[in-house]
Amino acid sequence: QVHLVESGGGSVQAGGSLRLSCSASGYSYSSQCLAWFRQAPGKEREGVASIDSDGDTYYADSIRGRFTISQDNAKNILYLQLNSLKPEDTAMYFCAVRGDSLFCGSTLRSPVNYNYWGQGTKVTVSS
């Protein structure tokens, strides 16, 4: 059974940084796409960043240059480094996995492209 657990969220002031982690277990895909999505109160869930089995990374325009996605394959941990945070980055952040690495960047367009999700970790940025 696939199990994803996020951690690392918190409250920071604008301009601050956080590093989110997602511990993944229970899947053994030959290739996969791992991603971070976020959902602000009253808004739809939106794709933030994804990484495929080759380590290629993809980002939403709204966070490009500020956030960095990475993974530790040995530990099965997915990371999202958040820098230069803005109040509009306030949201619940979720990690997700799909058992297919094709078009990993395009999968950020919709959460329906992902099969498994964590419970989320909350990020609050104050001005």
The full DSSP string for 87-99 is GGG-EEEEEEEES
Taking only the tens place, the pLDDT of each residue in 21-76 is: 999 988 777 788 999 999 999 999 999 999 999 999 999 999 999 999 999 988 89
In contact, 118 and 69? CB cutoff 8 Å: no
pLDDT value, residue 43: 97
Of 10, 7, 14, 8, nearest to 85 (Cα)? Answer: 14
How confident is the prediction for the chain on average, in pLDDT? 94
pLDDT value, residue 27: 77
d(CA 38, CA 89): 9
Q: Is the pLDDT of residue 100 over 90?
A: no
pLDDT value, residue 116: 94
Task: Determine if residue 84 is left, alpha or beta; phi over 0 gives left, psi from -120 to 50 gives alpha, anything else beta.
Answer: left
pLDDT value, residue 120: 98
d(CA 84, CA 119): 25
Taking only the tens place, the pLDDT of each residue in 62-79 is: 999 999 999 998 889 999
pLDDT value, residue 15: 98
Of 62, 38, 58, 50, nearest to 118 (Cα)? Answer: 38
Which residue shows structure tokens 């993974």? 71
In the predicted model, what is the mean pLDDT of residues 92-102?
93
